[in-house]
């Protein structure tokens, strides 16, 4: 008998693991939301692809010690929590819960 997983319905496949090799970034769209996927040494993170300073795509940034650095003015955000760790950004970036199943990357997002 199949027992539905109450949490499973909220996860959406957004990419394959092969699309985001280690230490790379990938921008994907889920509905109207742009999401940046980051692979930091095999750990996948997902967060909004918009810097909270001036909206620059974080997918054009650099992965640095668990943070994503925006290339425009150098703001940094902790990828696990979204917390802004370096000016000029002050507001956190929204993060999404990630699952990797059978080579697929799924994130919890309402589109």
The least distance separating ligand FES from the CB of residue 69, rounded to whole angstroms, comes to 9
Q: Tell me: does residue 63 bind ligand FES (CB under 6 A).
A: no
The least distance separating ligand FES from the CB of residue 108, rounded to whole angstroms, comes to 25
CA dist 97 and 106 (Å) reads 8
User: In this chain, which of 34, 73, 83, 99 binds ligand FES, going by CB under 6 A?
Assistant: 73
Q: Tell me: does residue 51 bind ligand FES (CB under 6 A).
A: yes
CA angle (83, 60, 92) in 5-degree steps: 15
Cβ burial of 72 (10 Å; 0-12, 13-18, 19+) is: middle
Q: Tell me: does residue 13 bind ligand FES (CB under 6 A).
A: no
Please, which residues have CB within 8 angstroms of residue 108's CB and are 6 or more apart in sequence?
A: 7, 10, 11, 12, 96, 97, 98
Q: Tell me: does residue 66 bind ligand FES (CB under 6 A).
A: no
Q: Tell me: does residue 54 bind ligand FES (CB under 6 A).
A: yes
The residue ranges that bind ligand FES (CB under 6 A) are 51, 53-54, 56, 70, 72-75, 88-89
């Amino acid at each position: 008998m199949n027992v539905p997983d109450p949490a499973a319905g909220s996860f959406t496949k957004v990419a394959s693991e092969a699309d985001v090799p280690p230490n790379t970034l990938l921008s994907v769209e889920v509905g109207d939301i742009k999401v940046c996927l980051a692979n930091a040494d095999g750990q996948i993170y997902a967060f909004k692809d918009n810097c909270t300073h001036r909206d620059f795509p974080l997918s054009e940034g650099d992965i640095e010690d668990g943070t994503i650095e925006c290339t425009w003015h150098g703001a940094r955000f902790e990828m696990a929590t979204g917390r802004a760790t370096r000016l000029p950004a002050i507001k956190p970036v929204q993060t999404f819960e990630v699952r990797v199943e059978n080579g697929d990357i799924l994130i919890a997002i309402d589109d």
